[in-house]
Structure 1
Amino acid sequence: MKNKYIIIPVFAFLLSMLLYSCEKNAVQIIDVPVSGAQLKFFNFGVNAPIVNFYANDTKVSAALSATGSESSTTGVAYGAVYPSVNSYAVIAPGTYNFKGQRPSTVSTDANLAISTLNTSVQEGKNYSLYLSGIYNASAKTIESFIVEDVLPPVDTSGGYVRFVHAISNANPFNLVLKNTTTGAETVVATNIAYKSASSFVKVPFGIYELYCRYPNSSTNVISRNGTSAVSVIKANTYTFSIRGDMTVTSTTATNRPFIDNTPNR
């Protein structure tokens, strides 16, 4: 399956012979492999406002704009991922201060960085950066962490899945997949703690219910089943992440514990 990459402006000069120029807030999507480090950005901080993601002072996530003006409403909202499709943003390798930053056009807290994370990214590697935990409305801060996405080779005989834990007030979990046709259960991740990720595991293609259980327990603590069951397609790779607040018991609240399904490719 062909990967798509989103190139941020600081990297665009390397492609000047291939792409038309664009204004400062735009991004480019191309279908050919490129050099650099590849990143996905998750706003999974409970109650966090809309943000744009920056690497130092260069915007990595942005809506296409015909005017050059930043949108106050188009950013990465809680529960959203950028890029949202099975692609990555591409930046030059190096050490960055990654920021989740409020848009410049909002009436309150314009350009405020609610989260910062200083870390290095390497050539040819893939990463996922998460805003996580529960937003501190007084300090106007949220936690963040980054994990490497060690993508397996493309395999047409099955799909690959992994588990990322982004709920700050939850204990470590196992992730269990239940095939909706056979009823067979497979434990794909064991004892994964907050701000941690499991390795990618191969599973047969099919439709699965997802269950988070505490180690040595058969009780489903977080579930994704019924009409929310997920399809694992052969040759594809998926990240199942948990977000939310474990104290919320509503089954419909936005900030309830939830299992997200994001394709990596």
Structure 2
Amino acid sequence: MKKILYLIAVSTMLFSACKKQALVENTVYEKIAPGDPKYAYVKILNLTPGSPVLTYYMDDIKFSGNLSSLGVENSGYTYNQVYPDLGYSVTSPGTHKLTAKVIPTATADPNLEVFNTQISPMAGKYYTLFTTGQYTATNKKIASSVLLEDIKPLLDTSKIFVRIANLYNGGPNIDLIKGDVVTTGVKVISNVAYGTASNWVAVPSPGNGVAPSFKVFFNDAATGIPLITAGITITLSKGRAYTLYLRGIAGNPTYPFSGTFYTTFY
């Protein structure tokens, strides 16, 4: 089924004083077909250990965020949280300033700008920005990020596509192994360095059913040793493409290595 994104172009609430006291919503929507070259498409994943809860701004205009019932923003996006959850947010093509501030209701450093970078998304293309580095109470800055163009693979209802995005600070290059036992598993993706992502790969023999489960290992590409000895079991749906992202800080027990995934295309 063709999926449509909706952008609210104008939003006006008209309150009628008629006898029925009807509430009338007069909202104009613009239908945005996937890949419409009028727009660029952006997702943001906070992979900065220690990050406070953030709101993102594009050219000083709020790009993300939530409001409480009192109209004061009290939630946002912290470490290992993605905006938006599914799909992408839209912006105009061209060069933009992307920033992040601590939410105004935070106990520490409310409204402090902690991230500032420039991005230049192109018309009709999709991107994920990963914040990286480490945030501390001393530096109070997210000093680095990685912008990845998301090129949609040719989806197939019999296949599952995956890629690796390696954001594991201080970690090795990574191989992705599929199999119940690491020594006899199939190498699906090879040698992904920190700050880079692999190409899309169809999972070999994913299993029966619409959403099969299977075990994967994230191996040190140089030694062949898995970073998680027992591997992890994941359940993915056919006909979709998933980003498996690696996070944490090598040698840091507070932010250990972890492999997580999100749906990138469906």
What range describes the TM-score normalised by the shorter chain of this pair? 0.7 to 0.9
- Name stretches of at least 5 consecutive residues in structure 1 with no aligned partner: 23-27
> What's the TM-score once normalised by structure 1's chain length?
0.79
- Choose 57-66 or 137-146, whichever is displaced more: 57-66
Q: Which residue among 242, 246, 254 is the counterpart of 1:242?
A: 246
Alpha-carbon distance in structure 2 between the residues aligned to 1:202 and 1:184: 19
In 2 relative to 1, CA 216–193 (structure 1 residues): closer, same or farther, beyond 3 Å? Answer: closer
AA paired with 1:219? Answer: I
1:73-111 deviation line (CA, Å, top 9, x unaligned): x101211111123x1111111111212221133243222
2:172/2:221 contact within 8 Å kept: no
RMSD: 3.1
Alpha-carbon distance in structure 2 between the residues aligned to 1:146 and 1:224: 31
Residue 99 of structure 1 corresponds to 99
Q: How does 1:1-265 map to 2 (within 5 A)?
A: 2-3=2-3, 5=5, 7=7, 12-13=8-9, 21=27, 33=34, 35-63=38-66, 67-71=70-74, 74-85=75-86, 87-142=87-142, 143-178=144-179, 180=180, 185-203=185-203, 204-205=205-206, 206-222=212-228, 225=231, 229-249=233-253, 255-265=255-265
- Name stretches of at least 5 consecutive residues in structure 2 with no aligned partner: 13-24, 207-211
**Helix, strand or coil: the match of 1:141?**
coil
**Helix, strand or coil: the match of 1:94?**
coil
**Helix, strand or coil: the match of 1:13?**
strand
1:64 deviation in Å?
5.4
Alpha-carbon distance in structure 2 between the residues aligned to 1:38 and 1:222: 34
Alpha-carbon distance in structure 2 between the residues aligned to 1:189 and 1:130: 20
1:31 deviation in Å?
8.4
2:11/2:27 contact within 8 Å kept: no
Share of identical aligned residues, percent? 26
1:162-183 deviation line (CA, Å, top 9, x unaligned): 00011221122222233x59x9
In 2 relative to 1, CA 30–258 (structure 1 residues): closer, same or farther, beyond 3 Å? Answer: farther
1:115-174 deviation line (CA, Å, top 9, x unaligned): 222120011111111111221331211222211111112212201100001122112222
In 2 relative to 1, CA 30–41 (structure 1 residues): closer, same or farther, beyond 3 Å? Answer: farther
Alpha-carbon distance in structure 2 between the residues aligned to 1:94 and 1:20: 31
Residue 25 of structure 1 corresponds to none
Alpha-carbon distance in structure 2 between the residues aligned to 1:193 and 1:113: 30
In 2 relative to 1, CA 114–223 (structure 1 residues): closer, same or farther, beyond 3 Å? Answer: farther
**Helix, strand or coil: the match of 2:115?**
strand
AA paired with 2:9? Answer: F
**Helix, strand or coil: the match of 1:163?**
strand
AA paired with 1:154? Answer: L
Indicate the structure (1 or 2) with the bigger Cα radius of gyration.
2
Q: How many positions carry a matched residue from both structures? A: 243
